[in-house]
Structure formats: structure tokens, C-alpha cells
Amino acid sequence: MFLRIDHIGIACEDLEEKIRLFSETFELTVVAREVNEEQGVKEAMLHIADGEGGGSYIQLLEPLSADSPVGKFLARRGEGVHHVAFGVRDVTETMTKIGAKGVRVLDEHPRHGSMNSRIAFLHPKDVGGMLTELVQAADPGKS
């Protein structure tokens, strides 16, 4: 079902500071930046490695406001791992399969994710307390 760990999402107070930390300490390269108004974050994707199923990344997330999901996460827990994202071939199909097993899918339909991916989230209470994201990478042949 899963192709790879697509990314680990890390909530942070200062995106630029964390980019410097991960770039200098781990020699990771920023491959994408965007502001996702729908999710209430500024983000940067830092490339770790490529494998048979695609790339793996660290996603740094800075909230656009204190009342966004990441802003609330930071207020409750402080900086750190926010979610784990798994790469899948077809996010819609995977949502259906996992939902049929009794896991709540937080998204009714896939939504826009980083680097033009299609994503959906699973309820943390149904998967051991971990916010889990499903990621279908963008088709490289499409713009």
C-alpha cells in the first residue's frame, strides 16, 4: 500500500531558522517553498534522498496564524514532529481501502499538497496517536 515515507512534517516557530538548521546540520537542500492558505502554513520541503518509490523529504511548517492547525499544535506541544506522510500510488484508492478498515479519513476528497501532490489525512486516534498523511506525488508529465 505504501511506497515510501514521503516526508516527516515538522512544526516550527521560525521557518528560516529551521531551514538553516537542517541545511547546515544535515546538508539538505530546499527543493520547494510555498504558502498554503488552506492549511494555514508557510512551508519548505528539504530533499533527503530518492528511492525506487520516489523522493523523501523533511517538510518544515510555520503557521500563518496562532489559530491554524499548526499554530494550535505549537501552542499545545511546541516545536517538533507534526505528522508522518506515506507515499501512495493512488490517494483516492488508498483512502477508500483504509476507510473500509475502520480508520477515519479526515478528508472527504483529496486536496492540494506540497509540490502539486494530492493528499489526505487520517485521524490520529485511529492510527496510534500519529497524524498520518497519504501523498500521491504529482505526475511528472503534467504541469
- For CA atoms 69, 60, 31, 2, give the dihedral sign: negative
The residues annotated with a catalytic role in the active site are 7, 43, 59, 83, 133
Q: Name the DSSP class of 137.
A: P
Are 119 and 134 contacting, i.e. CB atoms less than 8 angstroms apart? yes
What is the maximum span of the chain, computed from C-alpha positions, in angstroms?
43
Neighbours of 49 (CB within 10 A): 9
